[in-house]
Amino acid sequence: MGANASIETLEEKLAEIRGEVILLGVKTSERSSVEEIEVLITEVKARVDKDAKFEAELDWEIRLLCAIINILEQKIEEQRLAQQLEGMRLSPEQEKRVAAAKDEIAEVNDKLASLKVRDSGRPEGDGSGRQEGDGSGRAG
């Protein structure tokens, strides 16, 4: 039985060694898995940083485009208003009539001014503005 006992002991030790090898293999694979995961995490962080930079650049470009759009909208509005004003301008014929009307108004104003000067020199009557005599209200 001594040989059997030593064989059993050897088998037990072999089983223990195999278990330790398996544990060592698991720990090694875990370690390599951790290292692989760390590498992946580093790559993901690099991608996130790259994506963040891209997002910031994209955000900046969007703001720039919005500003350009606002400027273009203002220019379009200015052009639209200019066209409306162009449509509101008088034709040359209308401008001539307006100028003639202004001249007539100026003449009437001059006549009124001269009448006021003449009236200021007259004695006040009954306040009706009529002169005694022919009843026309005009000076004779």
Cα separation, 8 vs 2, whole angstroms: 10
Give the model's pLDDT for residue 140: 41
47 pLDDT above the threshold of 60: yes
User: What pLDDT, in 10s, does the model give residues 107-140?
Assistant: 998 888 888 776 666 555 545 554 544 444 444 4
User: What pLDDT, in 10s, does the model give residues 66-118?
Assistant: 999 999 999 999 999 988 887 777 888 988 999 999 999 999 988 888 887 76
Where helices occur in the chain by DSSP H, the ranges are 2-88, 92-120
Give the model's pLDDT for residue 136: 47
Question: Are the beta carbons of 124 and 131 closer than 8 angstroms?
Answer: no
Residue 127 belongs to a domain:
no
Model confidence band, residue 8 (pLDDT cutoffs 50, 70, 90): confident
Residue 137 belongs to a domain:
no
Residue 124 belongs to a domain:
no
Average pLDDT over every residue of 7-12: 79
Q: Strand, helix or coil at 114?
A: helix
* Structure tokens, 37: 């995961």
21 pLDDT above the threshold of 60: yes
Residue 112 belongs to a domain:
yes
Residue 76's domain comprises 2-117
Indicate the number of domains in the chain.
Answer: 1
